[in-house]
Amino acid sequence: MRLHVRGTVLPAGEERDLFVTDDRRLTFRGDEDARTVLDGGFLIPGLADAHCHLGLYSPAGDDAADDERARASARAELEAGVLALREPGAPNRASTGLGPGDGLPRTLTAGRMLAPPGSYVPGFAREVEAGELVEAILEELLAGGGTWAKLIGDWFMPHRRLTPNFPVEAVTAAAQAVHRAGGRIAVHTCLPETIDIAIEAGVDTIEHGLAPSASQAEGMAAGGIAWTPTMVAMRHVPEIVTGAGLPAEEIAVAVELVRATPAAVRTARDAGVRVLAGTDAGMIPHGMVSSEIGLLHASGIPAAAALGAGSWDARSFLGLPGIEEGAPADLVGFARDPREDLSVLSEPALVVLDGLVVRTPERTGDG
């Protein structure tokens, strides 16, 4: 069924009539036979979570099959108005290929995340030595669909001092190999030393990052490296490392890095770093990207820019279009302007994924 929506299209801020064609594309050309599903409001091309792990913390429960857990998490994201997901690494490959054909958000995956033996949460990563990293990361890039690969740059361990997992030479070789294959590479970091390695290696995104310095932000901006701070999850790091029994000095490091992250977000954006909204869902429940957007704004990023980091700007970074002529019909509508009140992001009035209605105003109350 052809659809008609009228609303203020963001980020441009112009009130427009939008139509969904028979082939589930957006057009601004009129269609008198289209059914109106929203007349008035504010429109975005959906929310985007740039860092989530669908197989973890799934509504399906830990005993469910891998694919069932991934699909249940993706459905929770969709109900929150999230139409695009990036999964930068997972314990398995169950999320590969998920998308609108399954009635789920557009999902970009990175195969399994890579870490040295004994250097990450047991069972969560594919374990490889530095000398095996290039071969392994290309295998995971291909297994995940050819867009992203992910390595664990460091981790808080109970029995050793927090140190980088891979030398810069290995990370550089991995990044170059992924780029030659047409993909992009994400690196999980906590330590400042690992951020330095990631910048020197020329990766594409730094995940978590925990308070890069001003000079590191300049290096990230110069190298076109985006940052996904995942603050909504990282605020739990101090209690996690405390519960893990880490030495007091390691706990103090974690607490200080988390405390300094909001100011670092503001500094990084001012330096020209592309900041992305990602939740690290899997460590926390799915469907919380609106909370991450709120934390970005609270860090000093203007509301419209924070929203873009979790919507149109994130989609652009991931290679997905916004609201434009001929784009796949992904739309989320709100009754009030989210740039004026970001809390409205938790109350989508309209959700359309790939031209199919997921939620309309009359269905909002019962979900």
164 phi/psi in degrees, rounded to 5: -60, 145
Residue pLDDT, tens place only, 184-219? 999 999 889 999 999 999 999 999 998 999 999 999
Task: Tell me which fold the domain 3-45+322-366 belongs to.
Answer: Urease, subunit C; domain 1 (2.30.40)
Distant-in-sequence, close-in-space partners of 133: CB < 8 Å, separation ≥ 6: 114, 151, 166, 170, 171, 173, 174
Query: Average pLDDT, stretch 62-68?
Result: 96
Confidence of residue 359 (pLDDT cuts 50, 70, 90): confident
What architecture is domain 47-317? Alpha-Beta Barrel (3.20)
| Closest listed residue to residue 268, CA positions, set 305, 235, 312 | 305
Q: Is the pLDDT of residue 225 over 50?
A: yes
For residue 139, count CB atoms less than 10 angstroms from its CB and return exposed for 0-12, middle for 13-18, buried for 19 or more. Answer: middle
Amino acid identity of residue 352, one-letter, is V
Task: Give percent of the chain above pLDDT 70.
Answer: 97
Residue pLDDT, tens place only, 281-295? 999 999 999 999 999
- The residues spanned by each domain of the chain are 3-45+322-366, 47-317
Least confident piece of the model among 32-41, 70-79, 149-158, 326-335? 149-158
Angle subtended at Cα 147 by Cα 236 and Cα 141, rounded to the nearest 5 degrees: 85
